Amino acid sequence: MKPGSYEDQHSPRQPRRPWVVGVSGASGTPYAAAVLRGLLDAGERVDLVVSRASRLTLLDETGIAFRDARWRDDLRTWLARGADGKPDTFDVKLSRDPDADDVRHWPAGDLAAGPSSGSYAVKGMLIVPASTASVAGVALGLSKDLLQRAASVTLKERRTLVVALRETPLNGQTLRHLVTLDEAGAVVLPASPAFYAGATHIQDLVDFVAGRVLDAAGVPHRLYRRWEGELGGARGDDQVDQVDHVD
């Protein structure tokens, strides 16, 4: 880049490249909160898109109303709440400055928002939780709202897209949509908690799923205990009962 060029005069020294986090209307708002906390703890920037349906789910699951005019206060309350519903469980690393760029909120109906364009610099997108409706919309390229549009842009720009599906059982139509997303380059990551990490609380199960989402995005975290090849390691057992191995 030559001195005096457009890029030299107008580009920031450290350009902001956030992760877009889309929250759809599926049950599982604690998963979204855990992912957002993990991103902020890792020092990542976030562009947040909360769908209309997810606001109803959030209100039903937590009693928290997510309002455009007070989104930062509502987000702080949400992220501080534990998966068991207890308020002020977490110390949230979210700036109280309304002009801070750690998190930007884009209304789901704003199709002129930054993430709607491929020229808007982001690292990728995480849809947590992902409803079957959002999966269908992205797979079919409908772009009915900003969440779907941002996901379509993520795919066309060959950026990381993680889709944390939260639905059961799955019908053939949804399975076909998931295959379409996989073939397009997305990571299909069902919100399926594991128990080998020694979970003793609902938060442990939520954090396992959130940790796997962050793993898929390449974001470092310490949300769950990883498998190290030792039976009983997660429980801290000194000895493990003899296991018969079958050839």
pLDDT band for 229, please (50, 70, 90 cuts). Answer: confident
pLDDT score recorded for residue 231: 85
At 66, give phi and psi (nearest 5°).
Answer: -100, 110
Predicted confidence (pLDDT) at residue 142 exceeds the cutoff of 60: yes
Q: Does residue 25 contact residue 53 with C-beta atoms inside 8 Å?
A: yes
pLDDT band for 239, please (50, 70, 90 cuts). Answer: very low
Please report, as a single letter, which amino acid is at residue 136: A
pTM: 0.90
Predicted confidence (pLDDT) at residue 243 exceeds the cutoff of 70: no
Q: Where are the alpha helices (DSSP H) in the chain?
A: 6-10, 29-41, 52-62, 71-80, 132-140, 146-156, 172-183, 202-217
pLDDT score recorded for residue 236: 62
Q: In this predicted model, what pLDDT tens digit does every residue of 37-95 receive, in sequence order?
A: 999 999 999 999 999 999 999 999 999 999 999 999 999 999 999 999 999 999 999 99
Residue 105 vs residues 70, 108, 109, 135: alpha-carbon distances, Å = 11, 9, 12, 21
